[in-house]
Amino acid sequence: MLDDPLFIIAAVAVLAVLFILLVGIGGFAKGGDFNRKHANRIMRYRIYAQAFAVALILLFVAVRQYGVF
């Protein structure tokens, strides 16, 4: 599975979601000016990245299971 490029791209997308989530949680925990300025934008980025990661995971499953494409 590690030699499948689609799996690697999906894994990188999941790690990007994790990174964005941790930045958002860290900003929320620290509070202050950074949180006031960027909290909503960071969480919006997380939702976009998460939707992209889920789409890649579903594509990976479809390709592996049904041989689509």
Cα dist from 16 to 11, 22, 24, 34, 65, whole Å: 9, 10, 12, 20, 25
pTM comes to 0.83
Per-residue pLDDT at 42: 93
For the chain, the C-alpha Rg in angstroms (whole number) is: 15
Digit-by-digit pLDDT tens for the chain (69 residues) are 778 899 999 999 999 999 999 999 999 998 888 888 989 999 999 999 999 999 999 999 999 888 766
Handedness of CA 12, 38, 44, 48 (dihedral sign): negative
Lookup: tokens for 33: 């000016």
